[in-house]
Amino acid sequence: MIARLARLALFALLAAVATLVQLDQQTTRSPELAFLVPRYFSANAARARAQFALRTGGGGLADARHALIMRPMPAESLTLFSLTAMGANDAETALAALEAASTRGWREPISQLASGEAAMQQGEYAIAAQRVVALLSTGDLAQPALDLLARLLATPAGREAFAYRLAQPGHWQGNSLPAMVAAVEPADLADTLAQAQRMGADLPCDRLAQLARAYRQRHEDGLLASFWPGSCPQG
């Protein structure tokens, strides 16, 4: 019961995040309606109407349901349906749609962030790490993603889970490392990087050098030694 209540509390976060992803893309056939369409949704009329209703408190659940029927595969349709169901006080339906959206589309940021928050509250650190990686990979909702990362790395199990992700092949690691140093506690980040390297992570040395400079400025040489080799190989 407590866990469910905690998860339902995430919808307050969803309502706030929803305002950040709207009014960003124009329609091609009806440019006068561009302000109705958020960045992460298509120009489909039913979806646009549902989103407009969501923003103005006018319901929109029927339009969102129609959009989901017409285009069931995109995660964005499920996220829109979740938000409108929340507006209709149907928390159970909203939660189910949100969970489905987070597993269907890793590029859909609202569901990824909400799923990551829910995973953190339930102690599912591997899932939370996966959701953080999805957000960092796209660059969407960067600050909320980094806030979630800081809380994840504040736990030993969270550090291990994220270290595993850092050790997997990919390009997101190098792009994200500089931002991590400002968001995460130095000891937590150093331990995570050290674990990742023991797992075989091949992190870009130039980005590690940026982190090294930040640690030196903080006089954290002891922590720095745990993940920084001292210099980058020549050539």
85-114 pLDDT tens trace: 655 666 666 666 666 655 555 456 777 787
What pLDDT score was predicted for residue 121? 81
What is the average pLDDT value for the chain, to the nearest integer?
Answer: 72
Handedness of CA 14, 70, 135, 40 (dihedral sign): negative
Tell me the per-residue pLDDT of 39-63, one tens digit each, with 9 for 90 and over. Answer: 334 434 445 555 545 455 555 545 5
Report d(CA 165, CA 191) in Å as an integer: 14
Report the candidate in 225, 205, 203, 147 with the shortest Cα–Cα distance to residue 180. Answer: 147
Q: What is the pTM of this model?
A: 0.63
If one counts every other C-beta atom within 10 angstroms of the C-beta of residue 59, the result is 14
* Tokens linked to 77: 């349709």
Place 234 in a pLDDT band, splitting at 50, 70 and 90: confident
What separation in angstroms does the CA of 231 have from each of 176, 207, 210, 219, 221? Answer: 20, 12, 11, 18, 14
What pLDDT score was predicted for residue 204? 92
Query: Which has the minimum average pLDDT: 100-109, 114-123, 148-157?
Result: 100-109
Class of CATH domain 2-175: mainly alpha
Distance of CA 150 to the CA centre of its chain: 13
Tell me the per-residue pLDDT of 12-43, one tens digit each, with 9 for 90 and over. Answer: 555 545 543 443 333 334 433 434 444 334 43
**Would you say residue 224 has pLDDT above 90?**
yes
Give the three-state DSSP class for 108: coil
Please classify residue 2 by burial: count the beta carbons closer than 10 Å to its beta carbon, then call 0-12 exposed, 13-18 middle and 19+ buried.
exposed
Report d(CA 231, CA 235) in Å as an integer: 12
Structural domain spans, the chain: 2-175
Place 211 in a pLDDT band, splitting at 50, 70 and 90: very high
Q: First CA to last CA across the chain, in angstroms?
A: 58
Q: What value, to the nearest 5°, has the Cα angle with vertex 71 and ends 66 and 77?
A: 75
**Would you say residue 6 has pLDDT above 70?**
no
What pLDDT score was predicted for residue 146? 93
